[in-house]
Amino acid sequence: MPWQIVIGLETHAQLSTRSKMFSGSSTAFGAEPNRQASAVDIALPGVLPVANRGAVERAIRFGLAVGGSIRRRSVFARKNYFYPDLPKGYQISQYELPIIEGGALLIPAADGERSIPLTRAHLEEDAGKSLHEDFQGATGIDLNRAGTPLLEIVTEPALTSAEEAVSYARALHALLRWIDVCDGNMQEGSFRCDANVSVRRNASDPLGTRCEIKNLNSFRFLEQAIRHEARRQIELIEDGGRVRQETRLYDPDRDETRPMRSKEDAHDYRYFPDPDLLPLEVTPDWVESVRAQMPELPAAMRSRLAGELGLAAYDAAILTGSRELARYFEAIASRLPGNAKLAANWVMGEILGRLNREGLEIGACPVDAARLAGLLARVADGTVSGKTAKEVLDALWSGTETADEVIQARGLTQISDSGELEVIIDGILAQNPAQVAEFRGGKQKVFGFFVGAAMKATRGKGNPAQVNALLRRKLGADA
């Protein structure tokens, strides 16, 4: 049965402001409970919220990055519900008039790119946290997180598989970090997704009833939760049942979703404009001044790397995975005119491989762009072979010298002097008359023996192309 899975994601991104959405207290993670909760955050009577300009600016940056429309006038609303970590009894959010509407996010797809349409992105505040550990028969409340600015980014129900949802979430995560609006730290809860999932028998049927799986804070959980929820719904319907609209939780230990509460409808929240806050006005001048400070966006950089430098689309996508990586690559490529592919191969292979093995981010790479470019210049001009260059990279990785210093000190210069190589090869042929005869008698495989002997005699420093050419000539293989 060709079931279609339909997914809409709501992502909560904590904005990287130093202070909260409506108060001056710090948003730093990890403080002692309730040390960063001001009178506004704990909702003492008579306090007044003041919107954080930096948070609004970050929302504008996002709107520009996804090509959404930025409302000149948006309105903060109260979303009323009771929960112990929400002392006001309501969350300040945006409802009817969100700051950003529309726009789209490009994600990689099998045949290039796919554009995922966004519904909206609105500003709101985070809630506090309930603490269940360390308390016997009681729950602790930590309001440090209460009031942290959030941008909630909502997609249309346009994603059609768990993998596609993950690929969207990864692209969004990378974009938010790229434009410096969210630190993306998923362990600390800076980036959390709610997945709305429904199924239908045919893509042309109306949308099925959805369930919403809350607070998925890793890409792996997001993927597993969607898979399981879709399978649960399909089995339920095939068994003659009906999906009930509800909010569910994913339990990674048992790899299943289970009901948390029946899903409220918007009218249950009794939304209304917050009388304590003026409508938010974003003038065209403000938008233009934010636009003037935007970095080049990843999609634009990808097509530039493919166009100007001739990189494959796949390579360009990897190298624009983060702004730091893209900057690193560009700093190397600009020092190696005409050798962008060499630079791309080394960054994607050796550098990312080593960083990955050591659990390091590109920002902590022990070999900076200048030193790597110095090494690659020696590969490009034939001073060292690719193999020797890896040995030099080992030295750069653990030391502070330049590639030229390492090559000099260790005498690693490739022997490209054909006179010198000729003497070595003549010696090898003279010492191995039996193998020479075998080769001349038609045994092609013996050629590898001579190459090996030549590389050994030069301690790996013979220029491989020249060694090959000389051997072929001397053995009469070209004739």
**Closest CB 194 distance from Mg ion, rounded Å:** 5
**Closest CB 10 distance from Mg ion, rounded Å:** 5
| By CB under 6 A, residue 207 contacts ligand ADP | yes
The beta-carbon contacts of 405-408 under 8 Å, at least 24 apart in sequence, are: 407/378, 407/383
Q: Amino acid identity, residue 435?
A: Q
Q: Name which of Mg ion, ligand ADP, none residue 228 binds, using a CB cut-off of 5 to 8 Å depending on partner kind.
A: none
**Closest CB 246 distance from ligand ADP, rounded Å:** 11
User: Are the C-beta atoms of residues 414 and 388 closer than 8 Å to each other?
Assistant: yes
User: Are the C-beta atoms of residues 439 and 390 closer than 8 Å to each other?
Assistant: no
Of 2-10, 101-109, 173-181, 256-264: span binding Mg ion (CB under 5 A): 2-10
| Residue where the block lists tokens 């002997």 | 453
Binders of Mg ion among 394-433, rule CB under 5 A? none
Of 30-38, 207-215, 320-328, 347-355: span binding ligand ADP (CB under 6 A): 207-215
**CB-wise, 121 or 311, nearer to Mg ion?**
121
**CB-wise, 80 or 416, nearer to ligand ADP?**
80
**CB-wise, 160 or 418, nearer to ligand ADP?**
160
Which contiguous run of DSSP H or E holds residue 285? helix 284-292
Q: What is the CA radius of gyration of the chain?
A: 30
List Cβ neighbours of 400 (8 Å cut-off, separation of 6 or more).
none
CA distances from 207 to 3, 174, 196, 246, 266 (A): 12, 30, 12, 15, 19
| By CB under 6 A, residue 249 contacts ligand ADP | no
User: Are the C-beta atoms of residues 6 and 15 closer than 8 Å to each other?
Assistant: no
Q: Name which of Mg ion, ligand ADP, none residue 155 binds, using a CB cut-off of 5 to 8 Å depending on partner kind.
A: ligand ADP
Contacts with ligand ADP: how many residues (CB under 6 A)? Answer: 17
Query: What burial class does residue 225 get, using C-beta atoms within 10 Å of its C-beta: 0-12 exposed, 13-18 middle, 19+ buried?
Result: buried
- Convert residues 167-206 into a mask of x (bound to ligand ADP by CB under 6 A) and - (unbound): -----------------------------xxx--------
| By CB under 6 A, residue 6 contacts ligand ADP | yes
**Closest CB 206 distance from ligand ADP, rounded Å:** 9
| By CB under 6 A, residue 10 contacts ligand ADP | yes
Q: Which residue's beta carbon is nearest to the bound Mg ion?
A: 10
**Closest CB 247 distance from ligand ADP, rounded Å:** 9
| By CB under 6 A, residue 33 contacts ligand ADP | no
Q: Amino acid identity, residue 331?
A: A
User: Are the C-beta atoms of residues 127 and 82 closer than 8 Å to each other?
Assistant: no
**CB-wise, 10 or 183, nearer to Mg ion?**
10
Q: Which residue's beta carbon is nearest to the bound ligand ADP?
A: 8
Distance CA 454, CA 212 (A): 66
Nearest partner of 173 among 162, 164, 184, 188, judged by Cα? 184
Binders of Mg ion among 6-35, rule CB under 5 A? 10
DSSP strand pairing (100-101 vs 69-70): antiparallel
User: Are the C-beta atoms of residues 62 and 121 closer than 8 Å to each other?
Assistant: yes
**Closest CB 42 distance from Mg ion, rounded Å:** 26
User: Are the C-beta atoms of residues 176 and 59 closer than 8 Å to each other?
Assistant: no
Nearest partner of 315 among 354, 296, 342, judged by Cα? 342
Q: Name which of ligand ADP, Mg ion, none residue 6 binds, using a CB cut-off of 5 to 8 Å depending on partner kind.
A: ligand ADP
Angle between helices 386-398 and 369-380 (to 10 degrees): 160
Binders of ligand ADP among 141-170, rule CB under 6 A? 154-157
| By CB under 6 A, residue 374 contacts ligand ADP | no
Binding site for ligand ADP (CB under 6 A): 6-10, 154-157, 196-198, 207-208, 210, 212, 266
Binding site for Mg ion (CB under 5 A): 10
